Amino acid sequence: MTSEARPPGDVPAIERLLGMRRSPGEKTACAGLEILARTLAGLASAEDKAAAIRHLQDCDDCAEVLLELARVEGAGIHPPEERIPAGVEGERRPFGARLRDFFATPLLAPISAAFLLVVTFAVWWLVPRAPIQQGSGPGALQKGQGDALYVAVQRGQVQFVLKPEDFVNDGDSLGWFYSTDRAGYLAILFREEQGGVELIFPAKASQSAAISPGFKIPLEDGARVTAARGCEWLVAFFSDRPLEIAALRKALLLAHGAAERCSLEVPFDQARSVQVFPLLRERRESEVSP
């Protein structure tokens, strides 16, 4: 926020100021926008789709536009003609479904690659998913009851819920679901064996995000697994009050990790539940630490 003192002398005529207030706008449309529109409209040929993929690999802006559009749709903002109860028009497929189809192609990889490392993206929930298997277990619950985080993995066309003994591979897309019997707040952070800590959910926030009670509720943000050495952990903090992300980062920095078993002890009193997921990788002999 900047301060603006009254301009000296008379205020210029309002009409004149309004006339100067032009929008820079964009001089030319992105050539890729029309091909993306054709794809989303369900009119794209196989060649168009291939061209769309190529375009998205080169155009970070367009990839960002698609992801933002997914967020807009996810927030329930739909065109008037699509605000129709499901089943009323059996023939018409909603735009969101076509967007999911779009991401279900190999597009997912280049789009996500553009965002690098464990950067949040809203792609996970766009991908048509098999029903989550009931009874698949969450990570180790270190404290508290009634709260659970589930990590869902998209590996190529295969989707599954991560169990503590499962391995993750480079390139896997991760999505999150939680279950809780009472409203509260949730934050998910990522910790590397070397001590690096990153916030995963809620993205770019300073406090944990409010959550409602429910069973296996998907969260919008996701992550992509990238090449790494050593143990890594995802840690979920459920709480009754919003928690400062800075405090959670500090707790994770101080947490004691045991590399040989990939376990992590996270002492943190302000959370009602703390859940730790080790992200295990199949180690080759050359990568095993001495």
Partner 1 sequence: MSIAPELIVRLQKNDQEAQRLFWSSQWSYVFAICAHILGKGAAATDLAVDVLTAFMFDYVHGLAHPATAKAYLRLMAVRRSLQKRKEQRVFVELQNWETLVEEGARTPEDQALCRAAMPRLEGCLSRLSPNAQQVIRLSYTQGMGNNRIAELLGVSKQYIGKLIKKSLERLRRCMEEPIPGEGRKGEGS
Q: Which residues make up the interface to partner 1 (CB under 8 A)?
A: 1-12, 14-26, 29-30, 33-34, 36-38, 40-41, 43, 61-62, 64-65, 68-69, 71-72, 75, 77-81, 95
Kindly state the smallest distance separating residue 84's Cβ from partner 1, in Å: 10
Closest CB to partner 1 among 30 and 109? 30
Kindly state the smallest distance separating residue 236's Cβ from partner 1, in Å: 27
Which is it for strands 184-192 and 232-239: parallel, antiparallel or unpaired?
A: antiparallel
Kindly state the smallest distance separating residue 213's Cβ from partner 1, in Å: 26
Nearest by Cα to 217 from 270, 163, 181, 173 = 181
Tell me: cis bond preceding 213? Omega within 30 of 0 counts.
no
Nearest by Cα to 149 from 241, 275, 48, 53 = 275
Kindly state the smallest distance separating residue 11's Cβ from partner 1, in Å: 5
Closest CB to partner 1 among 37 and 50? 37
SS3 44: coil
Kindly state the smallest distance separating residue 259's Cβ from partner 1, in Å: 40
Closest CB to partner 1 among 41 and 254? 41
Closest CB to partner 1 among 84 and 130? 84
Helices 46-58 & 31-40 angle (0-180, nearest 10): 130
Task: Identify the helix (H) or strand (E) that includes residue 190.
Answer: strand 184-192
Measured between alpha carbons, how far is 274 from 236 in angstroms, rounded to an integer? 6
Kindly state the smallest distance separating residue 198's Cβ from partner 1, in Å: 22
Closest CB to partner 1 among 68 and 287? 68
- Long-range contact pairs involving 53-58 (C-beta distance under 8 Å, separation at least 24): 53/105, 53/106, 53/107, 53/110, 56/32, 56/107, 56/110, 56/111, 56/114, 57/110, 57/113, 57/114
Closest CB to partner 1 among 66 and 225? 66
